């Protein structure tokens, strides 16, 4: 079990992080329509809106014959999946069939839309509510064996333009095909560095290993479009001026990640799904100068990569190395410079001599990730580096060390970068 001292509570979340969100961000996040409009204006993918129904006349006058299959009815400011119905097709009698198999007459759908307008499912009493009818996402085929009928989604917590935690939410029979934990969906933690699923919980917070009623493991699954998911999440948060919040995304098999909604106060059960607390992670990136979305993602992958992902690297794929090795540093993705590596298993993070880093022009602003406090009390830069060793190309981050200037081996490899190797004395 992870350290409970790292868990972020609701009061601390609201006081320290949610409160940092601007009035603009809150107004956008409280409205699915404004969120979609902003994504469209910002060039960020979101599910296509078919129509917005604002009143009784709109419901009566809309040409329902246009809707044949694959559409969604939802409230503009609902939460927790309330009021959302996903339709898969129309039957021979002209009635609509949802993804659970329930049949809806047109009158029943209209009544549901009226309930939405009257605020039955709103999460913000007093706010204007409309009905959104949008296209249904084409679920990526890799999710079909994991999710029960509905559409799974990915939630990414973003703070200061850096992804902090991520979770895959899988619909179940209990949740009636909805990807909401409070209704019985499954939450599966995702390693930010690789996009590989790690741990999983039920909606009630209980640990779970397999997809219900199957022997399909929930861990070790590679989420498709992972880098695109992280980039879209950060771009969406930045577009909405969202300093801290959750970005929910569907994964369409053709279009990739689509923003579903933004949340200024995302639930905290994501910590249980990852067995990682938010508190320490948020503290680590507070005050960092993040240049852009790509920079924020590089920081996230460097700081928050999970050791669990190592378990999914087959021993057959690992190669033997000694304590002293000859390898190459990759510059500008093309140039390679030979350099000696020393394997130092006492270190966690690898380091490079300051002299070598400057000679290879690796200390440019775009390569700098953050500054780290060292034993002397000084702060040393951490930079992004790609190296090749035994035909293994490793993209990582290294501490720039003045002490290594006097060393014969200008790079010391730490444990973090040895996952694909077996060290032989």
When mean pLDDT is compared across 252-256, 262-266, 376-380, 396-400, the lowest value belongs to: 376-380
Cβ(245)–Cβ(157) under 8 Å? yes
CATH among 2.40.50.100, 3.40.50.11890, 2.60.40.10, 2.40.70.10 for 313-423: 2.40.70.10
Measuring CA to CA, which residue among 226, 229, 230, 185 is closest to residue 203?
185
Give the integer Cα–Cα distance in Å for 103 and 183: 21
pLDDT confidence of residue 7: 92
Residue 243 in this model has a pLDDT that exceeds 60: yes
**Gyration radius of the chain over CA positions:** 24
Residue 123 in this model has a pLDDT that exceeds 80: no
Mean pLDDT of the region 120-146? 84
Q: Within its chain, how far is the Cα of 104 from the centroid?
A: 34
Residue 321 in this model has a pLDDT that exceeds 70: yes
Q: CA angle at residue 60 from 57 to 61, to 5 degrees?
A: 80
pLDDT confidence of residue 11: 95
pLDDT confidence of residue 211: 92
Residue with more model confidence, 195 or 364? 195
pLDDT confidence of residue 251: 94
Mean residue pLDDT of the chain comes to 89
Tokens of 221: 């699954």
Residue 125 in this model has a pLDDT that exceeds 80: no
Percentage of the chain beyond pLDDT 90 is: 52
Residue 244 in this model has a pLDDT that exceeds 90: yes
Say yes or no: domain 1-46+138-307 is CATH 3.30.470.20. yes
Give the integer Cα–Cα distance in Å for 101 and 38: 34
User: Predicted confidence band at 368 (pLDDT cuts at 50, 70, 90)?
Assistant: confident
pLDDT confidence of residue 313: 56
Question: DSSP 3-state assignment of 155?
Answer: strand
Cβ(185)–Cβ(175) under 8 Å? yes
Cβ(360)–Cβ(337) under 8 Å? yes
Residue with more model confidence, 22 or 126? 22
User: Predicted confidence band at 315 (pLDDT cuts at 50, 70, 90)?
Assistant: low
Domain extent listing, the chain? 1-46+138-307, 48-136, 313-423
Mean pLDDT of the region 385-406? 90
Say which residue the tokens 């989604």 belong to. Answer: 153
Cβ(264)–Cβ(242) under 8 Å? yes
Tokens of 398: 């290294």
User: Predicted confidence band at 367 (pLDDT cuts at 50, 70, 90)?
Assistant: confident
CA distances from 213 to 167, 171, 186, 209 (A): 21, 13, 13, 11
Cβ(133)–Cβ(58) under 8 Å? no
Residue 230 in this model has a pLDDT that exceeds 90: yes
Instruction: Tell me which range, 169-173, 221-225, 239-243, 312-316, is most confidently predicted by mean pLDDT.
Output: 239-243
Mean pLDDT of the region 229-246? 97
pLDDT confidence of residue 331: 79
When mean pLDDT is compared across 74-88, 148-162, 337-351, 386-400, the lowest value belongs to: 74-88
pLDDT confidence of residue 330: 85
Cβ(305)–Cβ(180) under 8 Å? no
| pTM, two decimal places | 0.79
pLDDT confidence of residue 139: 87
Segment 256-291, tens digit of pLDDT: 999 999 999 999 999 999 999 999 999 999 888 898
Task: Give the dihedral sign, CA 351/352/358/362.
Answer: negative
Cβ(136)–Cβ(87) under 8 Å? yes
pLDDT confidence of residue 104: 95
pLDDT confidence of residue 99: 85
When mean pLDDT is compared across 85-99, 207-221, 303-317, 368-382, the lowest value belongs to: 303-317
Q: Which residues of 101-132 are buried (b: 16+ CB within 10 A; e: fewer)?
A: eeebeeeebbebbeebbebebbeeeeeebbbb
Q: How many CB atoms lie within 10 A of CB 66?
A: 10
Residue 312 in this model has a pLDDT that exceeds 60: no
Measuring CA to CA, which residue among 255, 254, 253 is closest to residue 232?
255
Residue 379 in this model has a pLDDT that exceeds 90: no
Segment 330-355, tens digit of pLDDT: 877 778 889 889 998 888 889 999 99
Strand order in the sheet with 197-201: 197-201, 186-190, 162-170, 153-159, 244-252, 256-263
Residue with more model confidence, 353 or 122? 353
């Amino acid at each position: 079990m992870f350290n409970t001292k790292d868990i972020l509570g609701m009061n601390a979340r609201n006081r320290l992080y949610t409160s940092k969100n601007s009035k603009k961000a809150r107004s956008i996040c409280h409205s699915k329509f404004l969120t979609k409009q902003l994504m469209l204006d910002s060039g960020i993918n979101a599910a296509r809106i078919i129509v917005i129904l604002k009143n009784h006349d709109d419901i009566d006058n809309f040409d329902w014959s246009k809707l044949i299959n694959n559409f969604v009815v939802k409230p503009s400011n609902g939460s927790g999946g309330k009021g959302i119905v996903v339709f898969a097709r129309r039957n021979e009698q002209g009635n609509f069939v949802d993804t659970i198999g329930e049949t809806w007459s047109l009158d029943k759908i209209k009544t549901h839309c009226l309930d939405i307008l009257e605020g039955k499912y709103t999460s913000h009493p007093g706010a204007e509510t409309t009905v959104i009818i949008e296209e249904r996402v084409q679920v990526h085929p890799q999710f079909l064996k994991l999710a029960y009928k509905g559409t799974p989604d990915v939630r990414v917590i973003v703070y200061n333009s850096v992804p902090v935690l991520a979770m895959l939410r899988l619909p179940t029979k209990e949740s009636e095909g909805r990807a909401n934990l409070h209704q019985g969906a499954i939450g599966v933690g995702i390693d930010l560095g690789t996009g590989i699923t790690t741990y999983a919980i039920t909606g009630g917070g209980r640990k779970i290993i397999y997809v219900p009623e199957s022997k399909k493991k929930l861990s070790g699954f590679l989420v498709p479009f992972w880098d695109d998911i992280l980039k879209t999440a950060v771009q969406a948060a930045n577009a909405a001026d969202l300093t801290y919040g959750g970005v929910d995304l569907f994964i369409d098999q053709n279009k990739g990640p689509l923003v579903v909604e933004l949340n200024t106060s995302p639930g905290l059960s994501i910590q249980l799904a990852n067995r990682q607390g938010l508190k320490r992670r948020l503290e680590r990136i507070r005050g960092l100068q993040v240049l852009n979305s790509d920079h924020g993602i590089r920081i996230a992958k460097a700081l928050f990569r999970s050791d669990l992902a190592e378990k999914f690297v087959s021993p057959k794929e690992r190669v033997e190395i000694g304590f002293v090795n000859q390898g190459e540093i990759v510059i500008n993705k093309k140039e390679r410079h030979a350099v000696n590596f020393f394997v130092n298993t006492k270190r966690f993070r690898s380091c490079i001599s300051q002299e070598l880093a400057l000679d290879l022009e690796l200390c440019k602003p775009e390569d700098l990730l953050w500054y780290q406090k060292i034993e002397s009390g000084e702060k040393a830069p951490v930079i992004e580096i790609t190296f090749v060793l035994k035909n293994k190309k490793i993209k990582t981050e290294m501490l720039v060390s003045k002490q290594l200037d006097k060393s014969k081996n200008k790079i010391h490899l730490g444990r973090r970068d040895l996952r694909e190797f077996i060290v032989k004395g």
